[in-house]
A and B are shown apart, each in its own frame.
Chain A
Amino acid sequence: LEKKRILIIDDDKAVLGNFKDILELEGYSVDTAETGKEAIEKSNANFYNLALVDIRLPDMEGTQLLTSMRETVPKMVKIIVTGYPSLENAKEAVNKGADGYVVKPILNIEEFLNTVKEHLKKQKEAQRYSEQKVAEYIETRAKEQETKEE
């Protein structure tokens, strides 16, 4: 089975390194970025199933990065990580394309891993559903074509 790919974007090296180790222990393939620019470059060059985006980055706001990634990689699950928990923050993150919102420091790591797992499960289901729809569409069109030819 192919490993799910995760991109972590945070400017704190210790946080970045530890989350990479934790997610790799769970069997994910993990890449990291310390700036918004690096995150955009990496997400354009590689496929990631999910991104963990810190809300404050040295070169841009995490929400700005969300807007840009929503356009280029719309199917990637984006979870915003913030040390500034507020309703406004959450609303802004969701409006700019975040699929999830977690507050730093994340105390319960198991719960966090379950959140990641749930999002990836939903993504897989959505993908399966759209593949099924495409298959059904092709089948219907093929049948219509056959009927016409008869």
Chain B
Amino acid sequence: LREEALLVRDAAGKPLEVIGCWTDISERKQMEEALLRSQRLATIGEAAAMVGHDLRNPLQAIITGVYLGRKGYESLPPEYAKVAEEYGLVKWLSLVEGEIEYMDKIVSDLQDYAVPLKPDLSQVNIAQLLKDVLSKTQIPSNVNVSVHVEEGLQLMIDRSLMKRIFSNLITNAVQAMPEGGELTVDASKSDEEALVSFHDTGVGIPQEDFSRLFNPFFTTKAKGQGLGLAVCKRLVEAHGGEITVKSKLGEGATFTIRLPHRKS
């Protein structure tokens, strides 16, 4: 509440009355806070883009350096190769190669979060896109994946952006099931909208985290930047759609993408 008071005096300056006014400014306060929040997120976005881009060159130098290291190892005479292996050289090379992929994902997430988005829409076969993403995602043997896509489902989407959304949601689902479980992907469309949902039987999400789940840099993972879902939200919204979550602690989670149904 905003309080204002006005003291009214007579001609001699003697106080006559006080006029008070109380205004409800909750809406204005909320708008100011929202503006501040969006300005803060825009600054974070710019910093993220800069960091993402600046990491590309050193990352490229590491990738090419490791490649040359492996080539060097492969060209060693057998007796030297054996010694190199005994000293752990091959193990270290593989370790760095694995970490490079992870670093590349961080760099891509930072840039996806920050760059202005202009989806390049085309008709994409959803079953095929899911197949491509699943083939490139490491699924542990204790996780069963079932995919149910409406026959011949094609959507007007940006193929590479949607690929990143699917990839992030599938990776999250797998990571939510450290003891194994079921990942079910459903995709269908009606006259108004298309729905793609990812349901896992993992650890679930506590209610108190729901409001922050799609915020950048919010994470509950020990190893994560908290950009995956923020990126998903941004990319889905760039398609004019929305992403929602339903979950109960210990009972898994379902992330649903709603996209407007564009005919062409």
Instruction: Check if A21 sits within 8 Å of B68, measured CB to CB.
Output: yes
Contacts of A84 in B (CB 8 A): 53, 115
A104 touches B101 (CB 8 A): no
B25 at interface by CB-CB < 8 Å:
no
Interface string of A6-37 (1 = CB under 8 A from B): 00000010110011011001000000000000
8 Å CB contact of B61 from A18, A25, A109: A18
Residues of chain A at interface, number, CB under 8 A: 19
Q: Is the CB of B118 within 8 A of A87?
A: yes
Indicate if B177 sits at the interface (CB-CB under 8 A): no
Q: Is the CB of B63 within 8 A of A19?
A: no
A14 to B57 CA separation, bound complex (whole angstroms): 9
A105 touches B53 (CB 8 A): no
- When chains A and B are docked, how far (Å) is the Cα of A84 from the Cα of B67? 23
Instruction: Specify which chain A residues have a CB less than 8 angstroms from the CB of B59 in the assembled complex.
Output: 105
> Residue A109 contacts which of B56, B58, B67, B118 (CB distance < 8 angstroms)?
B67
Given contacts A14-B58, A83-B53, A104-B56, list 15 more A-B pairs with CB under 8 A: A12-B57, A18-B65, A18-B67, A22-B67, A22-B71, A25-B68, A25-B71, A84-B53, A84-B115, A85-B111, A88-B118, A104-B57, A106-B60, A107-B100, A109-B67
A86 at the B interface (CB under 8 A):
yes
Q: How far is the CB of A28 from chain B (nearest CB, A)?
A: 15
Q: Flag if A12 contacts B53 (CB, 8 Å).
A: no
Q: Which residues of A contact B67 (CB under 8 A)?
A: 18, 22, 109
With A86-B115, A104-B56 as contacts: A12 and B61 at CB distance below 8 Å: yes
**A residues neighboring B (CB under 8 Å):** 12, 14-15, 18-19, 21-22, 25, 83-88, 104-107, 109
- Interface core residue of B59, B61, B100 (most chain A CB under 10 Å): B61
Complexed CA–CA distance, A56 and B167 (Å):
29
A109 proximity list for chain B (CB < 8 A): 63-64, 67
Contact partners of B104 in chain A: CB under 8 A: 105, 107
Chain B residues with Cβ below 8 Å from A107 are 63, 100-101, 104
Q: Which of A19, A21, A87, A105 contacts B56 (CB 8 A)?
A: A105
Determine whether the beta carbon of A87 is less than 8 Å from that of B120. yes
In the complex the two chains form, what is the Cα distance from A21 to B68 in whole Å?
Answer: 8
List 23 A-B pairs, Cβ < 8 Å. A12-B61, A14-B57, A14-B58, A14-B61, A15-B64, A18-B64, A18-B65, A18-B67, A19-B64, A22-B71, A25-B68, A25-B71, A83-B53, A86-B118, A87-B118, A87-B120, A88-B118, A104-B60, A105-B59, A105-B63, A105-B107, A109-B64, A109-B67
Contacts of B120 in A (CB 8 A): 87
**Minimum CB distance partner of A113 in chain B:** B67
Residue in B56, B61, B100 whose beta carbon sits within 8 Å of that of A83 in the complex = B56
* Complexed CA–CA distance, A107 and B98 (Å): 11
Residue of B nearest to A26 (CB): B71
Residue with the highest number of chain A CB atoms closer than 10 Å, among B58, B68, B115, B120: B68
Bound complex: CA of A84 vs CA of B107, how far in Å?
11
